[in-house]
């Protein structure tokens, strides 16, 4: 278990982490999300004792990291995969780490096999690809068979097979009752891997909940509608607070109305509807909604998008315009 209480870190005039409190429980994969500069890496470094908190405390299995007599057996971490002497082989690097904790050579062989490094174990690390470096970092994190595992961007540089392997690995570790704390910028991967999410923005916790609760609590109601008269149905549904987009021929995406209300409107007008599918918010949509006020580095494109539609577009219902434009381009 990882417990942070009023944890803060200040670098000069910059507050990187601002009084965060959270608990990472065993038996589940906890995802750690946030925009660039939000404080994720600093928080992980404080958990590992690499940075001293300005205020507050963080413990691993009830003790600060530095207080553990055999820390590799308590917590394994991948924070920087390239933190390896380039002149060493993967095998010698792991052997050196193992020697600091009296970990037997047999365990080195186990993690090499587990992470798929067998064919390159005796080769120098300087020749490793980014993906192989990630595998070596994960091997080092698992070397002490720890109860707590922290992985910062573990799928970075991995091919699809490697990404699937990491996904299955972290789920397996959690199923064994271990504490798994995982960060990633890949929302699609996090949505398939994490059970619980902690979201940080500008150094503060902005969400700490099961992933399904975050998905259910964000975004407006959206429904995919197929009809043989999309322009007529769009005109019937268009009203304040409702957004309708033409996706393709005879397909609309309606936001802001319950599926039942769409069906009733279509039925009352004699419009045939042959698909009515509620759409749940994706993790990416929920994440962007959560962090929209906490992005430190925003591109000009983002500002332009936030500015909304042009006055010309705003003059008519967006729903009808979307359908009419599609019809005109056929």
Task: Sketch out the chain's domains with CATH numbers.
Answer: 2-209 (3.40.50.300), 222-328 (no CATH)
| pLDDT value of residue 41 | 92
- Sheet bearing 196-201, strands edge to edge: 75-78, 148-152, 179-183, 28-33, 196-201, 204-210
**Which two structure tokens, joined as six digits, stand for 232?**
């007529």
| pLDDT value of residue 81 | 76
Nearest-angstrom CA–CA distance, 2 and 178: 11
Tell me which residues of the chain have a pLDDT lower than 50: 301-330
**Which two structure tokens, joined as six digits, stand for 28?**
């589940």
| pLDDT value of residue 299 | 53
Nearest-angstrom CA–CA distance, 81 and 87: 15
Global pTM value: 0.74
Nearest-angstrom CA–CA distance, 292 and 48: 29
**Which two structure tokens, joined as six digits, stand for 307?**
């500015």
**Which two structure tokens, joined as six digits, stand for 46?**
């404080």
With 0-12 / 13-18 / 19 or more C-beta atoms within 10 angstroms meaning exposed / middle / buried, residue 1 is middle
| pLDDT value of residue 157 | 83
Q: How many CB atoms lie within 10 A of CB 63?
A: 12
| pLDDT value of residue 4 | 97
| pLDDT value of residue 218 | 59
Q: How far is CA 155 from CA 85, 90, 186, 278, in A?
A: 21, 19, 9, 31
């Amino acid at each position: 278990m990882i417990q942070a209480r009023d944890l803060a870190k200040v670098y000069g005039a910059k507050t990187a982490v601002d009084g965060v409190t959270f608990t990472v429980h065993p038996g589940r994969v906890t995802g750690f999300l946030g925009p660039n500069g939000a404080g994720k890496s600093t928080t992980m470094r404080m958990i590992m004792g690499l940075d001293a908190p300005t205020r507050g405390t963080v413990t691993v299995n009830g003790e600060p990291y530095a207080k553990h007599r055999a820390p590799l057996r308590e917590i394994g971490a991948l924070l920087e995969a390239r933190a390896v002497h380039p002149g060493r082989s993967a095998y010698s690097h792991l052997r050196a780490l193992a020697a600091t904790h009296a970990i037997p050579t047999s365990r080195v062989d186990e993690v090499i096999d587990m992470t798929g490094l067998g064919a390159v174990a005796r080769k120098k690390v300087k020749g490793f690809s980014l993906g192989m470096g990630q595998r070596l970092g994960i091997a080092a994190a698992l070397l002490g068979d720890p109860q707590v595992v922290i992985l910062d961007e573990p799928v970075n540089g991995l091919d699809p097979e490697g990404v699937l392997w990491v996904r299955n690995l972290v789920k397996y570790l959690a199923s064994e009752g271990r504490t798994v704390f995982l960060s990633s910028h890949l929302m699609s991967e996090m949505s398939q891997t994490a059970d619980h999410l902690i979201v940080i923005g500008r150094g503060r916790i902005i969400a700490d909940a099961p992933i399904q609760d975050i998905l259910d609590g964000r975004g407006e109601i959206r429904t995919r509608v197929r009809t043989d008269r999309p322009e007529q149905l769009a005109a019937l549904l268009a009203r304040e607070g409702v957004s309708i987009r033409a996706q393709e021929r005879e397909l609309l995406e309606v936001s802001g109305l319950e599926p039942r209300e769409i069906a009733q409107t279509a039925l009352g007008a004699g419009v045939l509807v042959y698909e009515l599918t509620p759409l749940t918010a994706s993790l990416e949509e929920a994440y962007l909604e959560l962090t929209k006020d906490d992005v430190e580095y925003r591109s000009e494109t983002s500002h332009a998008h936030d500015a909304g539609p042009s006055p010309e577009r705003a003059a008519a219902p967006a729903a009808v315009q979307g359908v009419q434009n599609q019809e005109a381009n056929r």
